[in-house]
Structures are given as C-alpha cells and as structure tokens.
Amino acid sequence: MKLYRVILPVGDIDAGEQFYSAILGMPGQRISPGRHYFDLDGTILACYDPKANDGEIEPVWKLHPKQYLYIATDQLDHIFDIIKTQGAKHLDDEIKTMPWGERMLYANDPWNSPICFVDNKTLFTGHKI
C-alpha cells in the first residue's frame, strides 16, 4: 500500500495556492474550483476549500479533526525563511532537533492547519538509526 493523497482544508483556495506554492517552490495545479493539488514526490497534497462548490453533497471537512501534515524536504532552512513571510498563524522560533534525531519545524498555516517540515536526511520512520 501507498499513501497517495492528503487533503488539507484552507479557507480560501487562491490564498492556499499562494501560501503552499511559495513554501513548496512549485505552482501545483487547480483541479476544481475548491481544490489545488501539489505532487510531493508521488503523494498529492490537496488544498481544499470547503466553501467552494465542488458538487459535493456535504463538505469533506464537516466533522473531521485536523492532524499534523509532515513534509520531508532537502531545504529545511530555506523553507523556514520562506514561511516567515507567508502569514503563518504559528511558526517555531527555530528549527529543532528531536531526541530521536529528526531536525524539524512546526507551523500552522493561515487557516490554523498544523504542518511540520522535516529535514530529509534525518527522517525517522520507526526503525533505529
């Protein structure tokens, strides 16, 4: 099995596209009035505006809780600098190294969705390093 898509709610699809395009360094693709997809090495980050009319009977995010989205990157320091300028609701004061060895930073996007960026060279997948 493979994780192929993660849906992240945003309060404004155009602002969501701008925020994540700046941080991810790619334009992504508008799929529908309320969805903008970014291909992150085979897994799709789907920004979703629940207020947009995508022809759904009920919005996808009506009752779903938010969970952290973890994104691995080779440019953690660069992303830290960019996210400072993009209106994040929260951003760690500094990049931290966790006791299990991961180097990471936590943030909340402008819609308060929690995101975490992790240095690709320090990923911990549950196996001892």
In this prediction, residue 41 carries a pLDDT of 92
Owning domain of residue 113:
5-52+67-122
**Is there a domain that residue 61 lies in?**
no
> Which candidate, 12, 2, 5, places its Cα nearest to that of 109?
12
* DSSP label at residue 65: P
Number of domains in the chain: 1
Cα–Cα distance measured from residue 43 to residue 94, given in angstroms and rounded to the nearest whole number: 27
Question: In this predicted structure, what is the pLDDT of residue 62?
Answer: 55
**pLDDT score for 63:** 47
Q: What is the CATH number of the domain that holds 77?
A: 3.10.180.10
Is residue 48, in this structure, part of any structural domain at all? yes
Residue 128 domain-assigned? no
The series of mean pLDDT values per 10 residues for the chain, 129 residues long, is 84 95 96 91 89 60 66 95 96 93 93 92 75
